[in-house]
Structure 1
Amino acid sequence: MRERRPTVAITTRLYLPEVTAASFRMHALADSLCSDHDVTVLTSRPPTGIADSGMLHDSPVTVHRAPVLRDRTGAIRGYVQYMSFDIPAFFRVLATRADVIVAEAPPTTGLICLVASWFKRKPLVYYPGDVWTDGVIAMGAAKPVIAVMRWLETRVLRGARSILSVSAEVTERLTALGADPSRILEVGNGIDTRVFNAAVEPQRTERPYFVYTGTMSEWQQPDIFIRALANLEFDVDIRFFGQGAAEAQLRELAAQIAPGRVYFGGVVSPAESASWIRGAVGALVSIVPGIGYDFARPTKTYAAGACGTPVLFAGAETGGQVVRDGDLGEAVGFEAQEVAAAMTRLHQEAQNGRTDQRRHARSEWITQHYSLAAAGERAADGVRSALIATARTH
């Protein structure tokens, strides 16, 4: 008789084909685990119009999707939206066979999975991409909201058998919130180089363009790129792909100061996102310094570097250091004039051939240092270790 394989239930709001850092991260984990575990992913239905990118075809991972409330941009953002996923997810986890439960952020999802793990007497592995308490502080939330989020996050961190961290900076913040350092495994982060690479067919447009992909939020404030664009004296556009709370303001600002030069393409598949990045003069990435997210290393940087496209990073030191370490492009302060000067330099490099000369080296550096497959395997080892540790205590 065939021995029963261990089972894993992964609970995450976001999963492929949605193009988010969390989607890629959780897919990499599931993909790495399925070699020796039966893996079930409990997630949400993607927004209308997002097609299957093909990355899930022939996957042995079982994916169960449920309806969820989304805001007008298609994002699951806000307490009502979170609850529309979390409350049904609690019962879905209870009804799913699992020897170990993995929960992705936010802490509300972590908490319902923690409670479910108590009922099922199974270990919980918490896999946050960042620190949500810092996020609500950065957004200027009221003190009671911050206090509740801090309590939720601390409760999940202290109750989890294991915590998977994406960077040393995140590890430091998780420890400050009360996580036991001995339970934290730093697995790193990265990008799927099977999708994002220098061999991708680039998009062709009438005019050269910079590209911004992913979330448009208060702690990124990508309006700085539109303000810089308005000061440029050469013809170049910006193309935004993704969604977020700042999108409406970006559209309004673009209409006022750069009419006809800024385009919003909505949410696209990973493959289409890679094509737009590959054809760009540069990929735009930003983290507002001094509001609580200075530790962030945006996945946008890895995606651009994997395609060999120069990164223009504006803002906090940590994200800029990644760009400098890999000679991935330009890292400047969060000032429109500095951004405009960097855009000018990257436009010149695209014109004189420097961008294409550096493309392969940039792509190779990302593959060596920020492979999502490697990060996914390290995360899978963390899940396996939690399962083994639990078995030893019973």
Structure 2
Amino acid sequence: MQIVVFYQYFSTPNGRWSTRFYHLAKHWTKRGHQVTVVTSVYDKSDLDELLGTHRRKRGWVRHLEVEGIRLVVLAIPISNRQSFSRRIASFLCYALLSCWFALRLPADLVIASSGPITVGLPALVARLVRRRRLVFECRDLWPEGAIALGALRNPLLTVPAFGLARACYRAASLVVTLSRDMADHLRGRFAVDRLAVVPNGVDLQAFADSESPAPAPSWLGDRQVLLYTGNLGPTNGSALIETCARRLEELGETRFLLVLLGEGPARASLQRLAEDLDTLVVLGPRPKREVVFWLRRALAALVPLADAPILATSSPNKLFEALAAGVPVIQTTDGWIAELLADHRCGYTVPPQDPDAVIEALRRLADDPEARRAAGRRARTLAREQFDLEKLADRYLASLHEAYGS
């Protein structure tokens, strides 16, 4: 098949962002399919670096090939640091320019990966004008998530966003979600019945490296690490991170150290806080290989999200990376992740505004090393059995074949 993917956030493992479509596309290419990804320049990806070494780096449209994956890169910058209006403008620019490629690129099947929901525009053009099969992927529930978190309130935006979402679900031969809870939401609200669940996964090979890990930095000493990786902001539980660091300091629990690898709107305030506390270090964004380095040294991984029911449907990459590294998880949602950790006994679910519960979980892990190691082994087994990207890519591909033949 010739597969065209509309996805704004493409990155390879050298970037600081999800590599979902890098791994999927690479795997499908090995299976004999031609994959073209139409993307933009996200500041956490490594596309700027790739474009800088490519002779065709000028202009609005740039063409690359990465490990057999064809990239059409639209020179539209995307950043979490942009204002809301600027991000909306970036989304719309990408969607409108992508419509040209929806009309021109050879394709048997088109995948649109949302959010933002505006990626549905070129997908609908490919479906309605060129009659190509459409697979619509929900990585996040748009616009429901943005509305629940207060980022999208204006009816002039919410009404057309819901209209676009409905149109995409109806036009799609298949809707792919990243969690069971997302699928249940779409069945209930939009009566979507052509569904497949393909969660985020992890490249197990990145965690199977047998090389001896580099020594830990001298400033770490013998302290035990609670690791957070990813975006630093209110949606991602920055308030809980702050209160945990303060509470550890108040309790004199200096055997624990909160280490943050990430970027986002809360980074500056957390950096200032770290200057006053001995329980917090903010290292900023790091490429995947350094994330692996720190996961191997962590007592536990923190996966917090804001106290909003819609976020219980999420499928955060940091969860699967922690499992693959054999690191117990401390997380805050009341949904499929909570059930997963409880069923496989590889982590704790705590209230999203309760730092004492986080600290109690840390103490249990630190005070019972054998139980912690057993939880880590179960986590690694879970990652291998359910979240291996190679297996997930084949599952996804089987669903694409079914959609193409329907």
CA contact (8 A) 1:295 1:318 kept: yes
Of 159, 168, 184, which aligns to 2:171?
159
Distance, in Å, in 2 between the alignment partners of 1:57 and 1:122 is 24
2:392 paired with 1:383 = no
Q: 1:272 to 1:195 in 2, by over 3 A?
A: same
How many residues of Structure 1 are paired with residues of Structure 2 in the alignment?
374
Moved more, 262-271 or 221-230: 262-271
**TM superposition score normalised by structure 1:** 0.84
Counterpart residue identity of residue 139, structure 1: L
How far apart are 1:176 and its partner, in Å?
2.9
How far did 1:72 drift? 6.4
Contact 1:221–1:246 (8 Å) recurs in 2: no
Question: What is the aligned partner in structure 1 of residue 264 from structure 2?
Answer: 244
User: Given the alignment of the two structures, is residue 7 of structure 1 paired with residue 34 of structure 2, yes or no?
Assistant: no
- 2:90 corresponds to: 81
Are 1:172 and 2:198 an aligned pair? no
Unaligned runs of 5+ in 2: 51-63
Which residue of structure 1 aligns with residue 55 of structure 2? none
Aligned to 1:3: none
| Equivalent residue, structure 2, for 1:110 | 120
Q: Is the 8 A contact 2:174 2:195 kept in 1?
A: yes
Choose which of 196, 202, 218 in structure 2 pairs with 1:191: 202
SS at match of 1:366: helix
- The 1-side partners of 2:303 and 2:34 are apart by 37
Partner of residue 153, structure 2? 142
Q: Does 2:380 correspond to 1:363?
A: yes
Distance 1:315 1:160, change over 3 A: closer
Distance 1:95 1:271 in 2: 37
CA distance in 1, matches of 2:65, 2:36: 15
Give the SS at the match of 1:194. helix
Alignment RMSD, CA only? Answer: 2.9
Aligned to 2:359: 340
Change (3 A) 1:39 1:70: closer
After superposing the two structures, state which structure 1 stretch, 102-111 or 134-143, moved more: 134-143
How has the CA–CA distance of structure 1 residues 272 and 92 changed in structure 2, closer, same or farther, with 3 Å as cutoff? farther
* Corresponding residue number in structure 2 for 1:392: none
Code of the residue aligned with 2:78 in structure 1: it is R
Question: Using a 3 Å threshold, how does the CA distance of structure 1 residues 49 and 365 change in structure 2: closer, same or farther?
Answer: closer
In the alignment, which of 64, 67, 73 is matched to residue 65 of structure 1? 73
In structure 1, how many angstroms separate the alpha carbons of the residues matched to 2:82 and 2:364?
35
The structure whose RCO (Cα within 8 Å, separation 6+) is larger is: 1
Structure 2 equivalent of residue 328 of structure 1: 346
Equivalent position amino acid for 1:340 in 2: I
Q: Percent identity?
A: 22
What residue number does 2:285 align with?
A: 267
Instruction: Give distance in 2, aligned partners of 1:92 and 1:75.
Output: 27
Three-state SS of the structure 2 residue aligned to 1:124 is strand
Give 1:203 shift: 6.4
Structure 2 CA distance for aligned equivalents of residues 289 and 72 of structure 1: 20
What is the CA–CA distance in structure 2 between the aligned matches of 1:47 and 1:278, rounded to whole Å? 26
- Partners of 1:311 and 1:7 in 2: CA distance: 39
